[in-house]
Structure 1
Amino acid sequence: MTKLKIALLLVICILSKVSSAQISPPGLGAAHTADWLALGVRQDLDSLKKWQSMSYIGLGRKSSLANYNPLAKSSILVLNQEFYYKFHPHWQTSFALSYRHQNEYSDSYPYEPENPAFEQEFRLYSRISYVLETPRFKLVPTFRQEFRKFYTPTFTRGAETFQFRSRLRLQLTVNLDAAKVHRLIVSSEQLFSASDLSFPNHWTRLGYRESRFVGYYSVAPKAFPLIFDFGYMANWLGGPSPAVVHYAALDIIWKNPFGHHRPNRRASFKQ
Structure 2
Amino acid sequence: MQVKKILFVVVCSISTPVFAQISPPGLGQAHTAEWLAVGIRQDLDSLKKWQSMSYIGVGRKSKPTDYNPLDKSSILVLNQEFYYRLHKHWQSSFAVSYRRQDEYADRYPYEHEDPAFEQEFRAYGRFSYVLENARFKFVPTFRQEFRKFYTPTFTREAESFQLRSRVRLQLTLNLDAAKVHRLIISSEQLFSASKLSASSQWMRLAYHESRFVGYYSLAPKSLPFIFDVGYMANRLGTTSPSYVHYIALDVIWKNPFGHRTTQRTHVGNLE
TM range (shorter): 0.7 to 0.9
State the distance in 2 between where 1:73 and 1:201 align: 35
Give the number of aligned pairs: 245
Describe the SS at the equivalent of 1:102: strand
Task: Give the TM-score of the pair, scaled to structure 1.
Answer: 0.88
Task: Give the TM-score of the pair, scaled to structure 2.
Answer: 0.88
Q: Percent identity?
A: 77
Shift of residue 240, structure 1, vs aligned partner:
5.5
For residues 186-221 of structure 1, the C-alpha deviation after alignment (integer angstroms, 9 at most, x for no partner) is: 000000000011246642111000000000000000
Counterpart for residue 188 of structure 1 = 187
Q: Is the 8 A contact 1:45 1:261 kept in 2?
A: no
Describe the SS at the equivalent of 2:185: strand
Aligned Cα RMSD in Å? 1.4
Shift of residue 179, structure 1, vs aligned partner:
0.4
Counterpart for residue 81 of structure 1 = 80
Structure 2 gaps of 5+ residues are 1-17, 262-271
Shift of residue 101, structure 1, vs aligned partner:
0.2
Counterpart amino acid of 2:23?
A: S
Q: Is the 8 A contact 1:47 1:261 kept in 2?
A: no
Describe the SS at the equivalent of 1:217: strand
Counterpart amino acid of 2:181?
A: H
Q: Is the 8 A contact 1:46 1:261 kept in 2?
A: no
For residues 223-261 of structure 1, the C-alpha deviation after alignment (integer angstroms, 9 at most, x for no partner) is: 110000000000000155420000000000000000116
State the distance in 2 between where 1:54 and 1:195 align: 28
State the distance in 2 between where 1:216 and 1:22 align: 8
Q: Is the 8 A contact 1:216 1:229 kept in 2?
A: yes
State the distance in 2 between where 1:201 and 1:87 align: 38
Structure 1 gaps of 5+ residues are 1-18, 263-271
State the distance in 2 between where 1:26 and 1:182 align: 24
Q: Is the 8 A contact 2:254 2:260 kept in 1?
A: no
Counterpart for residue 130 of structure 1 = 129
Describe the SS at the equivalent of 1:203: coil
Q: Is the 8 A contact 2:92 2:126 kept in 1?
A: yes
Counterpart for residue 172 of structure 1 = 171
Counterpart for residue 243 of structure 1 = 242
Q: Does 1:110 align with 2:109?
A: yes
State the distance in 1 between where 2:200 and 2:31 align: 32
Describe the SS at the equivalent of 1:158: strand
State the distance in 2 between where 1:155 and 1:211 align: 30
